[in-house]
Amino acid sequence: MRKLIVFNSVSLDGYFTDKNNDMSWAHKQDPEWMAFVSDNASGSAELVFGRVTYEMMAGYWPTPAAIKDAPAIAEGMNSLPKVVFSRTLDRAAWNNTRLVKGDLTDEVRKMKHEAGDDLLIFGSGSLVAQLTDARLIDEYQIVLNAVVLGSGRTMFDGVRNRVNLKLGKSRPFKNGNVVLHYERAD
């Protein structure tokens, strides 16, 4: 069975976007961090997005600026298979993307039982919250950033039930980031 993994950055005070929905505070350019991110981008997975994150990613990664600034990451983002969940989009034009309009939890349950690489969610807070409540997320890879935002949005806005997690591993970086790998404890 395929695993469903979340990979998101959060601030020290628990937000994954600031009060203006900005995430630029999470983008570090130091060599150690960029090597880690580039290595992750060279892996295999099917990327899973909600509409808002999809539109942001599709608007950046295929551009010449992205290809110039982060070629390894752009290559991975542009070539990996992607699925976008949206009730409002009519089409998904980014390379290797399919649009799913059906029920999120039902569709993800089906996808987890299909053959293929693991499923990986970036951003997409509303998806994370819904799939957390449905107990469909197998692993949370959280990048804890050494910044306090004061306000913003958590990726768990709307979660109704407590979910107990256990730490599998962690990795600190010189830039202050710590990558934490959590699995459900229940």
CA atoms within 13 A on the CB side of 179: 14
Q: What are phi and psi of 182, to 5 degrees?
A: -115, 145
CATH code for position 34: 3.40.430.10
pLDDT tens track for 59-90: 999 999 999 988 888 888 999 999 999 999 99
Please give the Cα distance from 157 to 17 (Å, whole number): 12
**From start to end of 12-110, where are the E strands?**
17-18, 46-50, 82-85, 97-100
pLDDT of residue 42: 67
The boundaries of the domain holding residue 10 are 4-184
Please give the Cα distance from 75 to 158 (Å, whole number): 34
pLDDT of residue 109: 96
* Residue percentage of the chain with pLDDT more than 70: 99
**Secondary structure (3-state) at 165:** strand
pLDDT tens track for 157-171: 889 989 999 999 999
Please give the Cα distance from 8 to 30 (Å, whole number): 18
Number of domains the chain contains: 1
CB-based contacts of 102-106 (< 8 A; 24+ apart in sequence): 104/130, 104/131, 105/130, 105/131, 105/134, 105/136
pLDDT of residue 106: 96
User: How is residue 118 annotated by DSSP?
Assistant: P
Q: 19 and 86 in contact (C-beta within 8 Å)?
A: no
Q: 48 and 118 in contact (C-beta within 8 Å)?
A: no
Q: How much is the pTM?
A: 0.92
The 10 Å Cβ neighbour count of residue 52 is 16
**From start to end of 1-112, where are the E strands?**
4-11, 17-18, 46-50, 82-85, 97-100
Question: 5 pairs with which residues across the strands?
Answer: 120, 139
Q: What is the pLDDT along the chain (186 residues), one digit of tens a residue?
A: 999 999 999 999 999 999 998 888 888 778 888 888 777 766 789 999 999 999 999 999 999 999 998 888 888 899 999 999 999 999 999 999 999 998 999 999 999 999 999 999 988 889 999 999 999 999 999 999 999 999 999 999 889 989 999 999 999 999 999 999 999 887
Please give the Cα distance from 87 to 124 (Å, whole number): 14
